[in-house]
Amino acid sequence: MIKEKEQAVVLSQERLAEGIFSMWIQTQAAKRANPGQFMSAYTEDRSRLLPRPISICEIDKDRHALRMVYRVTGEHTGTKQFSRLQTGDKIPVIGPLGNGFPLERGRGKRVFLIGGGIGVPPVLELAKQLQCENKQIVAGYRDGQTFLRESFEEHGRLYIATEDGSVGCRGNVMDAIRENGLEAELIYACGPAPMLRAVKAYAEERQLECYVSMEERMACGIGACLGCVCMSRETDSHSNVKNKRICKDGPVFLSTEVEI
C-alpha cells in the first residue's frame, strides 16, 4: 500500500540528553505501527526536499500517537529544525515504513534486546510488546547520559555499558553480556554497524537466531532509489543483484540474510 504524506501534530517535545530529543506526534500512522518500523519526517525548509528517517520509540494506539527519539546531527540540519518544534506545531510525515521486529519469534524464550547509541530508542516499544520468558535488555551509551533508562527498567532486566565506564560496565554491549554472564536463545538488536557486526558474530558462534535493525542514510525511504542498499546472501528480486534495500526490505533483517 502506497502511503501518503500526512500533517502530524506535535504533542510534546523534550530534550533527553545532549543532542538527543524526544517528540510525541499525533498521527494516523500510530494505528498501523509496529516495533522496529520508522517514520519519514519532512522539514518546512523548501531547500530540503528529502525526508529524515526516524525510528519509532513508542506507540500509543489509543491516542493515535507515536514517540520519536532522535539525535540532532548539526546546527544547520533537518533534525535541528525538528528540535525547535513545539506543542501544536505541524510536521509532515509518511509512515509507518519498513519491516519491524518479528515478535512471535521471541515468545516464551530467553531473549537479548540490544540497543546501542541512537539504536537504543527503537528497542523500547519492542521491550513493551515482547512476551518472553526472560527479557534481558542490554543498552550501550557513550557516557552517563543514559536516556530512557527508567522506561527500560519497567519492562525488563536492564544491563548498561558505557564507553567511559561512568554507568554499568566499561565498554560496549558485548562486554556487558560477558561481564554479567548472560545467555539467550534469541537476539534482537539495533545500533551502529560495528555493534551489529559483533552481535551477528556472537550469534553465529552460538548458533542463535538473531534479528538486526540496520542504520543507514536514506533518500526516498520507500525502496525506489536504491540509496540505502546492503549486501545480501541472495539475489534481490527488485534489482537482480545480491543486495537488500534497508528502507523497504528492512530495516530489520535476520542476521544471516545480510552482510554487515
Domains of the chain plus CATH, in order, are 6-97 (2.40.30.10), 103-215 (3.40.50.80), 216-260 (2.10.240.10)
Minimum mean pLDDT among 32-36, 171-175, 217-221: which range? 217-221
**If you count them, how many residues does the chain have?**
260
Give the C-alpha distances (Å, rounded to integers) separating 109 from 135, 177, 181, 208: 8, 17, 17, 12
Confidence grade of residue 241 (pLDDT, cut at 50, 70, 90):
low
pLDDT over 80 (residue 132): yes
Task: Give the strand pairing for 186-191 and 209-214.
Answer: parallel
Mean pLDDT value of segment 148-176: 97
- How confident is the model at residue 51, as a pLDDT? 86
Residue 48 has pLDDT above 90, yes or no: no
Does an H or E element contain 129, and which?
A: helix 122-129
Spatial contact of 39 and 56, defined as CB atoms under 8 Å apart: yes
Q: Which of 33-42, 99-108, 144-153, 217-226 comes out lowest in average pLDDT? A: 217-226
Give the Cα separation of 197 and 212 in Å (integer): 9
Measured distance CA(254)–CA(4) in Å, rounded: 29
Give the pLDDT score at 17. 96
Q: Would you state the pLDDT for residue 100? A: 95
d(CA 191, CA 186): 17
Q: Measured between alpha carbons, how far is 5 from 142 in angstroms, rounded to an integer?
A: 35
Task: Name the grid cell of 87.
Answer: 506543542
The pLDDT of residue 218: 56
Residue where the block lists cell 542463535: 208
Q: Quick one: which of 5, 222, 181, 26 has its CA closest to 92?
A: 5
Beta-bridge mates of residue 56 = 68
The rounded distance, in Å, linking the Cα atoms of 249 and 66 is 22
